[in-house]
Amino acid sequence: MASSTSEAIRNGVAKAARLHEQLGSQTDMVAQLGSIDVFDTISQLDITLLLRPLNGLLGAYLREPAPGILITTQRPLSIQRFTAAHELGHFYLEHKPSLDDEQVLRRSPFQNRGLPDLQELEANTFAAAFLMPRWLVMQHCRQRGWTAVDLQDPDKVYQLALRLGTSYAATCYTLQRYNVIDPSVAKELLAAEVRTRKQRLLGDFVPENYFGDTWLLTEADQGTSISGSRNDLFVIRLKEHSSGGYVWNLDQLVESGFLIVQDTREALDEQGVGNPVFRNITAHLEDSNYGRVDLTEQRPWQPQEPLSKLSFDFDLSGPELEGLSRADKKKALLAA
């Protein structure tokens, strides 16, 4: 057990890195970029995990009779995931049992302020370092061609948070910890509202509510894995070379279970005829929670020769529901 703040932070980061090594996470992400599946890790380590409506608690870690984790069903997926990683930290760091409420989990995972003890700080640091290892943050930024300057923009940080499967605030704290942004930028980012990010992206489309997340998908998402929730919205923004006769074929999006609620074209900055346009498609999932999208930009008369494509796998079955986690259910099915 750590005896100082700095030791707790060091331990949390080091143990998260060790677990990733043990799991071979980095190799998996090279094969397909996405978020760390913490529920799958807990399942692999044979720790009993149950989801329940927990009054006033986000999660708990128990040791008797066997290691067990409880996670609330009353929060969005990103909070469930952070709580699960925190409880996994208690297990992996061989901590005492713990009941965890908002007080413990809403703070910066890299500061001791307001935390009851060093064990909680250590588990929080573990959670952040496990869900957002530096190499994964960098891999997502490389995929999108983003540099440190881009990460001063709250819209981009929000999109990064969605791909990491973490909350916007936890992502800001972690970028500051990695010295990608300085404390004053982190403060400004933390003051920015997530709802505004969603509204800016959706433009004049007004959803029933803003509970779900809003993803911006572009050709930079090619080959990735998207993991979100049933009520998430998607803005798919694609460059279309219509003057050359090319159009994006959206049939496959509909076949994958998405409902298109808006489809517009917008001129790019340049003037003149013959320039590409942006195709902006707003959609949400209607049927099935899992699947794959394969969109191609093609000439209708030459469909076999696409100019560009956007393919991604999706799992939008979050948040985790009462009972076993999705990972444990999958494991039980495979064993049957």
Please give the residue ranges that form the binding site for Zn ion (CB under 5 A).
Answer: 98, 100, 120, 123
Question: Quick one: 104 or 293, whose CB is closer to Zn ion?
Answer: 104
Position with the least CB separation from Zn ion? 98
Cα–Cα dist 48/166, whole Å: 23
- Tally Cβ neighbours within 10 Å of residue 118: 19
Q: Of the two residues 72 and 98, which places its CB atom closer to Zn ion in the complex?
A: 98
Residue 98 C-beta: closest distance to Zn ion, Å? 4
Q: What is the DSSP string of 152-185?
A: GSHHHHHHHHHHHTS-HHHHHHHHHHTTSS-HHH
For residue 51, the minimal CB distance to Zn ion (Å) is 17
| Single-letter amino acid code for the residue at 253 | L
> Nearest approach, Cβ of 45 to Zn ion (angstroms)?
17
Is residue 123 within 8 A of residue 89, CB to CB? The reply is: yes
Of the pair 15, 326, the CB lying nearest Zn ion is at 15
Contact between 324 and 237 under an 8 Å Cβ cutoff? The reply is no
DSSP 220: G
- The residue among 100 and 232 lying less far from Zn ion, judged by its C-beta, is 100
What's the min distance (Å) between Cβ of 60 and Zn ion?
Answer: 8
Residue 74 vs 311, nearer CB to Zn ion: 74
Q: Where are the beta strands (DSSP E) in 63-163?
A: 68-72, 98-100
8 Å CB contact between 98 and 119: yes
Residue with tokens 């973490």: 166
Handedness of CA 160, 162, 164, 168 (dihedral sign): positive
- Nearest-approach distance from CB 157 to Zn ion, in angstroms: 26
| Of residues 126 and 246, the one with the C-beta less far from Zn ion | 126
Under the phi-then-psi rule, with left for phi > 0, alpha for psi from -120 to 50, and beta for the rest, what region is 320? beta
Q: CB of 69: closest distance to Zn ion in angstroms?
A: 11
